[in-house]
Amino acid sequence: MKCDHEHREQKHPYDKDSFKERTNMHAISVVVTTYNQPYTGIFHTLDSIVKQAFEGFEIIVADDCSKESPKEVLEEYFSNVGFSDYKIVINSSNVGTVRNILGVHGVADGEFIKVIGAGDMLYSSDTLRKIYEFSRSRKTNFAFGKIKAFSLEGADITIQPFNAPLKTELYITPQNREAILAQQLIGGDWIPGASLFYRRDYLEDYLSALAVDYQVRYCEDLVSPLVAFEDAIDYFDEYILWYEWGVGISNNGSVAARKKMYKDHSNFFSELSRRYRNNGIVTKAYRRFKVKRFVMLHTPLYRLLGRFKSAQYLKGQENQSGDLDSGKAFLLTNLDLKS
């Protein structure tokens, strides 16, 4: 798919006395991925970032060749909110989520990277500070935090915990690598891509392998098992993200979305089985995946299985009439909703 608009990158000067000027790099590059999303959702995401009580971050909007170039609208947004430390990268063709994220590594200069999809939001005004302090103190390369899900119907909002992965205790040091791989590959208990953050110079080779060797376009969360084969994965036991439920490729339920997701997973498991042909976990996982793929794509059971999987992660709607913690208050403020 070719875009009517060409690749463009917009850079703006940094604010006086910024973290960037003092250290010659940003603490965090926050990457916002966009592709044909409504501007309302994009603005909600950006609002949650520019309102951070933290110095030393940049925003990079990575647009994967949307039908309408968002450049002018985004520049107007940043001008209106008085935020100048941003870059806009627009792909000249649609490359998929993995390559879209990978391409940003060439222009980001943060010590760490936090990717966030348009429509999702940082959890509270001190989220970036917490991520940075955790990452520096742990000397982390690759980590994930907790997320909560929300969905909107008009002015009505539903908030639920999103307990993924289900067994976070596996990621507490010391880690059992085989147990983690079995839980992810056989159990399908993935670490959501939305919950990840990492050192900028660490993940590029993994993302490149995922895109080129494994031919994965959309499911960036499949990078986690690649890391788990070789390294530890840090777990940050705090909420860092509001996840917009029901709109992404992995949970919107459409036939087209399912086909895209299972195409990615087919490519992933096929290449994984080729590379690790003598690994019992990989062999068992590939066999189980083939059965699941057939059920999800060729039988009416996919709705039942999908609801069962969702129920595992979305446990217990929270009481919205009680006192709001800072994260809920921050969410409602960004959405311009009252408690």
pLDDT, residue 144, reads 98
The answer to whether residue 78 is domain-embedded is: yes
pLDDT, residue 309, reads 66
Which domain does 55 fall in, by range? 8-244+314-334
The answer to whether residue 59 is domain-embedded is: yes
The answer to whether residue 272 is domain-embedded is: no
The answer to whether residue 286 is domain-embedded is: no
pTM of the model: 0.89
The answer to whether residue 282 is domain-embedded is: no
Convert the chain into a string of H (helix), E (strand) and C (coil): CECCCCCEEEECCCCCCCHHHHHCCEEEEEEEEECCCCHHHHHHHHHHHHCCCCCCEEEEEEECCCCCCCHHHHHHHHHHHCCCCEEEEECCECCCHHHHHHHHCCCCCEEEEEEEEECEEECCCCHHHHHHHHHHHHCCCEEEEEEEEEEEECCEEEEEEECCCCCHHHHCCCCCHHHHHHHHHHCCCCCCHHHEEEECCCCHHHHHHHHHCCCCCCCHHHHHHHHHCCCCCEEEEEEEEEEECCCCCCCCCCHHHHHHHHHHHHHHHHHHHHHCCCCHHHHHHHHHHHHHHHHHHHCCCHHHHHHHHHHHHCCCCCCCCCCCCHHHHHHHHHCCCCC
pLDDT, residue 268, reads 98
> What does the pLDDT profile of the chain (339 residues) look like in tens digits?
556 554 444 333 323 344 455 457 899 999 999 999 999 999 999 999 999 999 999 999 999 999 999 999 999 999 999 999 999 999 999 999 999 999 999 999 999 999 999 999 999 999 999 999 999 999 999 999 999 999 988 888 999 889 999 999 999 989 999 999 999 999 999 999 999 999 999 999 999 999 999 999 999 999 999 999 999 999 999 999 999 987 654 554 567 888 899 999 999 999 999 999 999 999 999 999 999 887 777 777 666 666 666 677 777 444 444 445 779 999 999 999 876
Domain count, the chain: 1
The answer to whether residue 277 is domain-embedded is: no
The answer to whether residue 22 is domain-embedded is: yes
pLDDT, residue 326, reads 79
The domain that contains 38 carries what CATH number? 3.90.550.10
pLDDT, residue 9, reads 42
